[in-house]
């Protein structure tokens, strides 16, 4: 399966949320969609799942315009929104059965899918638990099961790790990585470290523009030799590209992305994905991304 975003622009009344975004997504990819709050991530996810229509541009699924076939798309896409609106009084099994019927999955199919997904997500023991008594991680996994009912080929997850403890975060990331083998999985977040280990492709949005679309390795390579650390007694002015500042006994320890050595005593350090995102968002190392 291939989904092509062709020069997408989305305008709300008085705001351009996305500007001329083009990209091609394939099955087998786990796509990390990164951007600060307000960058346009949710808008892009809603366009991909036909909840919204683009103001201009086209989205093609295996060559067909999805705006013209929203009903087909709804069976192809599983969307897990930021908030899993749980029904606190329903048991997990009741909740999932209800959601399956809302999605139009036939009863027998729903029973089979729910029982195998509960097993895959290690939730068999929680099926009689009321949703209101489930932990954040259990609700999250139930939400992903919900998105997977009907076996969608495109799985969209908006900010998946909020409210999860570190162990649950790793578990959810591993599950998503497995699921991406035969699907397009898009995972949206503003926390870069959440997707560092699992994404095979990074889309970086900044103020509605796609400023990076390639592998995490390529992103890190862009910032190679441009990440520095140094200590100053104090720092009065604002500096561009600072990725962290820590107060130490010797002064302020600064990590900064910059093409030039920012201070005489600055030493180059290895770039992380987070440094590299900042580097590109500061306007360095960009290419123009088209199809
Ligand atoms: P993100 O998910 O990256 O935080 P969004 O897609 O939610 O970004 O928002 C992108 C921009 O569009 C923001 O400036 C936001 O305020 C604006 N926006 C989002 N939804 C609407 C709407 N329904 N009406 C007007 N502006 C909106």
pLDDT tens, residue by residue, 176-199: 888 899 899 999 988 888 788 889
Rounded to an integer, what distance in angstroms lies between the CA atom of residue 86 and that of residue 102? 14
What is the share, in percent, of the chain residues with pLDDT greater than 70? 94
Ligand 1 atom at minimum distance from 13 CA: 25
Separation of CA 54 and ligand 1 centre (Å): 14
pLDDT of residue 290: 42
Ligand 1 atom at minimum distance from 36 CA: 3
Contacts within 8 Å (CB) and 24+ apart, 36-39: 36/190, 36/206, 37/190, 38/207, 39/190, 39/205, 39/206, 39/207, 39/208
Mean pLDDT on 88-92: 93
Separation of CA 213 and ligand 1 centre (Å): 21
Tell me the pairing of strands 227-232 and 64-65: unpaired
Please check the confidence at residue 168 and state whether its pLDDT lies above 80. Answer: no
Mean pLDDT on 260-274: 95
pLDDT digits (tens, 9 = 90+) for 57-74: 999 999 999 888 877 787
pTM: 0.88
Rounded to an integer, what distance in angstroms lies between the CA atom of residue 123 and that of residue 5? 36
């Amino acid at each position: 399966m291939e989904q092509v975003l062709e020069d997408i622009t989305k305008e709300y009344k008085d705001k351009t949320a996305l500007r001329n975004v083009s990209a091609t997504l394939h099955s087998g990819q786990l796509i990390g969609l990164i951007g600060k709050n307000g960058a346009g991530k949710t808008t892009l996810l809603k366009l991909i799942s036909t909840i919204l229509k683009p103001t201009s541009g086209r989205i093609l699924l295996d060559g067909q315009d999805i705006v013209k076939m929203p009903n087909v798309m709804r069976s192809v896409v599983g969307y897990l929104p930021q908030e899993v609106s749980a029904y606190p009084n329903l048991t997990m099994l009741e909740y999932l059965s209800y959601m399956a019927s809302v999605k139009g999955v036939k009863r027998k199919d729903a029973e089979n899918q729910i029982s195998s997904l509960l097993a895959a997500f290690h939730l068999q023991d929680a099926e009689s638990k009321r949703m209101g008594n489930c932990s954040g991680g259990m609700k999250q996994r139930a939400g992903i099961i919900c998105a997977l009912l009907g076996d969608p080929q495109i799985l969209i997850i908006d900010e998946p790790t909020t409210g999860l403890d570190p162990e649950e975060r790793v578990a959810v990331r591993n599950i998503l990585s497995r699921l991406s083998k035969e699907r397009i999985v898009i995972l949206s977040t503003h926390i870069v470290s959440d997707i560092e280990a699992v994404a095979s492709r990074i889309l970086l949005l900044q103020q509605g523009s796609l400023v990076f679309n390639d592998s995490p390795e390529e992103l890190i390579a862009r910032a190679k030799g441009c990440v520095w650390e140094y200590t100053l007694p104090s720092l009065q002015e604002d500096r561009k590209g600072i990725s962290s500042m820590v107060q130490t006994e010797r002064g302020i320890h600064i990590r900064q992305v910059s093409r030039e050595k920012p201070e005489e005593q600055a030493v180059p350090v290895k770039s992380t994905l987070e440094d590299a995102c900042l580097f590109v968002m500061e306007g360095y190392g960009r290419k123009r991304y088209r199809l």
